[in-house]
Amino acid sequence: MGKVIKPAIFAGIAIAVGGTVFLNVGGLAGAVLFSFGLITVIHYKLKLYTGTAGFVTKDSWGQLGIILLANIIGCLVSALIVRTGAPQLVDAADAIVAKRLAAGPLRCGLMGIGCGLIMTTAVQFGRKQQWLPLLFGVPVFILCGFTHCIADAFYYCMASPSLLLGNAGMIILTYVLVVIGNLAGCNLYRLFVDKEDL
């Protein structure tokens, strides 16, 4: 179990680093620099929910929930540190959370499909030491407005407690649908691509 939990927590931390730079910089530059998080995940062979969901087998489905939870723990620990060191970033996180709330659960869940597709594709290339798709994939999903459940976990952990508590039910429903949307998108390729072609 430690071989899953520890690399999954570290993956959450890596994505939180990407999220922190995006909160600081924003725009195209922030989206490109966010890629460092996913590059770290691939380099160290960490367990990221969206980097694993597209490769699960019938024997490994049970690990996916553990990976998700451990990723969230990594994001939470990172957010506690970043909130203390850079409290000015709370406003930027609040703006992202407000966008999710304005879009609503269904739209956020549907936008999660696109992110899942991009993540699995980028990871496929990264596993073959081809890094450009990773470098392009992350900014593409961010600039498209696609939702990533682990990045969102970090943004929620960074947001104002009052914003979270006042919208707890809607945030939980939105988050669950993004997780499902990511899962669907991560496995979309299975409908169109033969295993032997990968």
Question: Is pLDDT at 2 greater than 80 in this prediction?
Answer: no
Q: At what angle do helices 89-103 and 2-25 cross, to 10 degrees?
A: 100
Per-residue pLDDT tens over the stretch 161-174: 999 999 999 999 99
Per-chain mean pLDDT for the chain: 95
What pLDDT, on a 0 to 100 scale, did the predictor assign at position 183? Answer: 98
The three-point CA angle 147-123-39 to 5° equals: 85
Encode pLDDT of 19-59 as tens digits. 999 999 999 999 999 999 999 999 999 999 999 999 998 88
pLDDT band at residue 178 using 50, 70 and 90 as cut-offs: very high
Per-residue pLDDT band at 196 (split at 50, 70, 90): low
- Whole-number percent of the chain with pLDDT over 70: 98
- The confidence band for 198, taking pLDDT boundaries of 50, 70 and 90, is low
- Report whether pLDDT(197) > 70: no
DSSP string, 114-134: HHHHHHHHHHHHHTTT--HHH
User: What integer pLDDT is reported at residue 51 of this predicted model?
Assistant: 94
Reduced 3-state DSSP string for 3-19? HHHHHHHHHHHHHHHHH
Q: What is the pLDDT of residues 86-133, one digit of tens each?
A: 999 999 999 999 999 999 999 999 999 999 999 999 999 988 989 898
